[in-house]
Amino acid sequence: MKCLHYWGGGLKHQTTYGYFEVTLMKEEVFADFCIRTVGFHRTTHPSERRKLTQFHYTSWPDKDVPQSPISLVHFWRKGQYRLLHRLMLELFVLPFEPVRNELIDNTFRDMSRVAPKSKSRKSRLRLQYEDLDKGLEMDSVDDDIACTNALLPDNNSKNRFDHILPADEYRPFLRCQVQGRNNYINAVFMPSYTNPKGFIISQLPLPSTAVDVCRLILDEEINIVVQFDDSGKEEFVVKASKRAFWKVKIGRFLPENEEKMKIDAFEIRRERTSSVQDCQIETVSLKLNYKTRTFKHIQFKKWTRNRLVPPDSSSLLNLVKEVEEQQSSEDDEDSPILVLCLNGAERSGLFVVLMNILERCRVDGEVSIPQVIRYLRSRRKQIVPNLEQYVYCHNVTTKYLESSMTYANLKSARSDA
């Protein structure tokens, strides 16, 4: 029995197969095979779109074998080429070797100096960051395809910035049913070193999407929410460029002066509030019908809006330690940590990068900071968008290892005594 045609009727043409709509998005035709990119979704759930790459060998005759094995070998190699190309890129074009913990401080000092024979008088660290940015340009990612759901008319208004969109492959799909809402939220899963879904980073909600943050917390069984926002205002103006400004509105999903509030069918109640160093910590309960979720909301207060990075390396390091302590006290440590900032990338991304860097230092005793950033940029390419944040990652890592080694030495001295 021959395989039936299931990849659409023609290029860019939408074809219906039962409950599925299929679109042939791209087709590369060779003598012995074809490579196709196919998009599809259920007719009842048009926002739940998927994309696949099909490798179709066309020179295998019925009831026989291919005339030449070379064509089959070429077909197999073509399928491997894309992965191998990216692998070679990482190994030879962008070779960011890991550095052992005990050498990170000296390596950072050395990298901060002007590179030898540098006509531009740039530091090696700056040149390394520029190489890291070149990696973004070299990645052949079709964002219009990858972010299909974010660009749908029903979802476009839910994005605060039209250039920061979640890829379909990595975004959470909201399952909690609320009338008039679909499954979309501008958020992406980000891995920790040991958990492929260790974090979710998302934009602070719009007034119209606050309910979706509540749905996300309930769906993904969130125990900890980390928020970067220093104003407490629901509306403010941010600078877009030297001459351009725009008004930003923040949707509330937590009670402020009152103890409880309602968003659609959700009831949100503040149970307890405390302060630790630069953080305000609230215990919040979220209820929908007969289902209740209690979580910790940790708001970092020391990163003002006009700064690219926090004022010192110890402040964000204290936040990292606080989050790790809260996480270790939870029954389900594998639950994702939800991290919110204005655009869902720059501040939340820096926090997730640092959590990954420090975890690798603990587990492996070494880390490549640019490799961590490059890996996480595959989910959200706008993270660590400037040299200041890149330098800050090195400062925090050095500070963390310095304090860890001091603690280890003190512990060793006490045991010897």
In this structure, how many other beta carbons lie within 10 angstroms of the beta carbon of residue 410?
Answer: 10
CATH of 134-416, one of 3.40.630.30, 3.90.190.10, 3.30.465.10, 3.90.870.10: 3.90.190.10
pLDDT value for 225 = 97
Instruction: Kindly tell me the burial class for residue 323, based on how many C-beta atoms sit within 10 Å of its own C-beta (0-12, 13-18, 19 or more).
Output: buried
Structure-block tokens of residue 77? 């190699």
With 90 as the cut, is the pLDDT of residue 82 above it? no
Residue 63 binned pLDDT confidence (cut-offs 50, 70, 90) = confident
Report the percentage of the chain scoring pLDDT > 70: 82
pLDDT value for 399 = 94
Residue 413 binned pLDDT confidence (cut-offs 50, 70, 90) = very low
Beta bridge partner(s), residue 99: 367
In this structure, how many other beta carbons lie within 10 angstroms of the beta carbon of residue 254?
Answer: 19
pLDDT value for 143 = 43
Chain CA centroid to CA 23, Å: 28
Contact 38, 54 (CB under 8 A): yes
Higher pLDDT, 51 or 112: 112
Please report, for the chain, the start and end positions of each structural domain, with discontinuous segments joined by +: 1-79, 134-416
Alpha-carbon Rg for the chain, nearest whole angstrom, is: 25
Q: Please tell me the distance from the alpha carbon of residue 395 to that of residue 313, in angstroms, as a whole number.
A: 6
Q: Which of 18, 21, 338 is nearest to 148 (CA)?
A: 21
User: Averaged over 297-309, what is the pLDDT?
Assistant: 90
**What pLDDT, in 10s, does the model give residues 107-165?**
999 989 987 777 778 898 998 898 888 776 666 444 444 788 899 999 999 999 989 99
- Strands (E) in 32-106, as ranges, are 33-42, 45-57, 99-100
Q: Please tell me the distance from the alpha carbon of residue 273 to that of residue 89, in angstroms, as a whole number.
A: 49
Residue 34 binned pLDDT confidence (cut-offs 50, 70, 90) = confident
Considering the entire predicted model, what is its pTM? 0.79
Structure-block tokens of residue 133? 């940015």
Contact 122, 114 (CB under 8 A): yes
State the average pLDDT for the chain: 84
Q: Which of 414, 299, 365, 377 is nearest to 132 (CA)?
A: 377
**What pLDDT, in 10s, does the model give residues 197-209?**
999 999 999 999 9
User: Averaged over 1-15, what is the pLDDT?
Assistant: 79
Which run of H or of E encompasses 375?
Answer: helix 369-377
